[in-house]
Amino acid sequence: MNPEIVGSIAAFLTTVAYIPQVHRVLKHKHTKSISLGMYIMITSGLAAWALYGYMIESPSMLWANGLTFFMALTILIMKIKHG
């Protein structure tokens, strides 16, 4: 099996997993139970993974981490804004 196919499946699943949390945070604006430190680290890590995916020319790594970065960034911004 092509490694890029496996990567694409994994990328799809881990990216889609963020959608319910983003939806809930945007709908309820409740972020009290979300760790600020964790979202700072995960957002930074996702940006680094997206850059790495770009550097090694891995489409699945780039798009998955890029999309997930923006979803995590949305939650991070809401956490900073709403505590």
Q: How far is CA 29 from the centre of its chain?
A: 18
3-state secondary structure the chain: CCHHHHHHHHHHHHHHCCHHHHHHHHHHCCCCCCCHHHHHHHHHHHHHHHHHHHHCCCHHHHHHHHHHHHHHHHHHHHHHHHC
Enumerate domains of the chain plus CATH numbers.
Answer: 3-82 (1.20.1280.290)
- CA 52, CA 27: separation in Å to the nearest integer? 32
Query: What's the confidence (pLDDT) of residue 59?
Result: 85
- pTM of the predicted model, to two decimals? 0.87
Q: Mind listing the pLDDT tens digit for each residue in 20-77?
A: 999 999 999 999 999 999 999 999 999 999 999 999 998 888 999 999 999 999 999 9
- Confidence bin at 3 (pLDDT 50/70/90): confident
